[in-house]
Amino acid sequence: MLRLIPKAHDITIGKKGVVFTIGYQCPIVYDEELSNDYMYSMRLLQTHIKNCLGYTVPICKGKKGPQQIYIEVSQDLSEEEYTIVIEENVICIVGGDYAGVLYGIQTLRQMIDNYGAVLPEVIIKDYPDMKHRGFYHDVTRGRIPTLDSLKALADKLSFYKINQLQLYVEHSFLFRDFSEVWRDDTPLTPEEIMELDVYCKKLNIDLVPSIASFGHLYKVLSTKTYAHLCELPNSSEAPFAFFDRQHHHTLDVSNPESMKLVIRMLEEYMPLFSSKYFNLCGDETFDLGKGRSKALADQVGERQIYIDFVHKICEYLIEKGKTPMFWGDVISAFPSAIKELPEETICLNWGYEPNQEDTNAKRLKEAGAKQILCPGVIGWNQLVNASADAYENIKRMCTYAYQYDAIGVLNTDWGDYGHVNHPEFSMVGMIYGAAFSWNKVIPGFESINEDISWIEYRDQTRKFVSIVEQLSKQTKFPWFHIVGYKERKEDKIGDYGSEKLIEDMNEYDILEANKKLTQLIAQLYGILSCMDSTKRPLVKAYVIATEGISLWNEISLAIKDRNTNSDLAARLEYWYHNYKELWRESCKESELYRIGEVIFWYADLLRSF
């Protein structure tokens, strides 16, 4: 059985069986008319053959001949379209352009994973159903990845035919003129951004700049220099809280200095990218019109001051040759206002519920919006992503994207409340989005999980994803409530259900959940020998997260019963030691210390009853 992600549109398996062997002398030959820019994708294939088959095949230019992998471009094919023909004595990949060639090579790589060196007679014709197929990664609210891990992410996105990447930035960039913003962090540097941009380009990935320019400006608006531009006066004096950072810190649009600040940030950040797009964000402006801009809001309306400010940023971006993007959560309440923004503007319409309805997509379509639908990998606020919820959400949002003529899909990976989940855990959801945005025929949940287990994790049992998918379901004390209980006790927020959750804890449910977690850990260890050695380290990451879920389940009971438990406190601290090591494998130090503050608070609490 040929397993491919995304599924190719047209696959014809011949009756002759094995017709071609990739021997150690089999060259990769690309058409002599092609530029040397194509050499990068040839190297991808050469390296994959080396890793999978154990030998390096040569690369050269020339004409089509026997016993070779031949690659060319044809104007008869569309952008990103490709064909693969495997017949006796030759493999031929034809792309409509550089991207088509690259995607043909990515598919051949997956075929080698399926069959090894001996390949069957086959004809594949393939193309994307959706133009923009993106992944959105939060590099602000907890984790800031290393450049190497960002490049590895780009490699994986391209392997699954994703063609756009956005990194969410509030303060996590080394701004030249804003040292107050990043001084206690480990920000991305201009050099790293530019190097990643070049790297992505070779993989046909458009690295789109994305920066908060309206709401969600906690660190910017908590500085001595810019606190006066915050909508809510004196908010910079409040102690840090995860809840507060998510819900406040919106710019005061009535102050002309606010727009000057935004432009200074854009002027410095924009030139680092080759993309023609720019995401200004503009989402969740919860405080707008409730503080310093209240008089203006009372005069013209809260909706109008929102649209006017977004319009100014859009006009500035257009003057600089960029196509603006912005999050559509606010304008979804008054979609007709989309006509007040420049025609080029793209609305990023997000929704993350497993049973997400099509209301906003339909309303924005009827209002004439040019929209991209944005589902989520559902990993924020939990140690392990909820893959079942992610599947349902992404399936629905991709379906709406086709139904309402969206120009693309942007699958999101947020880092709310410290980005506690390991980045690799989001890859299952990322692959769902890649598969469903390339091919509108959406496979069933169990079917695609088996394919991911085999293709991504090289698990011969094809059970890996079905095992890890069950982990989040055993969570009785989620990270959202772990943080919420602490911040409620510190009087940083009002009650949002965390104390009642603990009061309602049932010892039987906790014991059963932890018993199931122990079984799942055993299953993870059990399939190690069935996985490729390069994929095995991920099992350790999942085991650490599983141990964390089990610990927090126990802690919730200890808090409910108010039992001093120094042993449980010590186990939590040892667990955090392992967690830190895992964090540092892929991310800079960034805000790891904030996770530590939560851990230590609970350890002290467990010793104090």
Residue indicated by tokens 């680092």 = 272
Inter-residue long-range contacts of 576-584, CB under 8 Å, 24+ positions, other chains counted: 578/544, 578/547, 579/544, 579/548, 582/422, 582/540, 582/541, 582/544, 583/143, 583/422
Query: How many angstroms separate the CA atoms of 260 and 257, rounded?
Result: 5
For residues 375 and 351, give the distance between their C-alpha atoms in angstroms, rounded to a whole number: 6
3-state secondary structure of 100: helix
- CA dist., res. 550 & res. 542, Å (int): 12
Which pair of structure tokens corresponds to residue 594?
Answer: 């904030």
Residue 591 annotated in active site? no
Distance CA 365, CA 190 (A): 37
Q: % helix / strand / coil in the chain, to the nearest 5?
A: 50, 15, 35
Count of Cβ atoms closer than 10 Å to residue 337 Cβ: 18
- Looking at residue 355, the DSSP 8-state letter turns out to be T
Rounded Cα–Cα distance for residues 178 and 223 (Å): 10
Distance CA 603, CA 588 (A): 25
How far is Cα 189 from Cα 176, in angstroms, rounded to an integer?
A: 10
Q: Which of 80, 81, 231, 284 is catalytic?
A: 284
Q: Which two tokens stand for residue 550?
A: 């089990």
Q: Which residues are catalytic?
A: 284
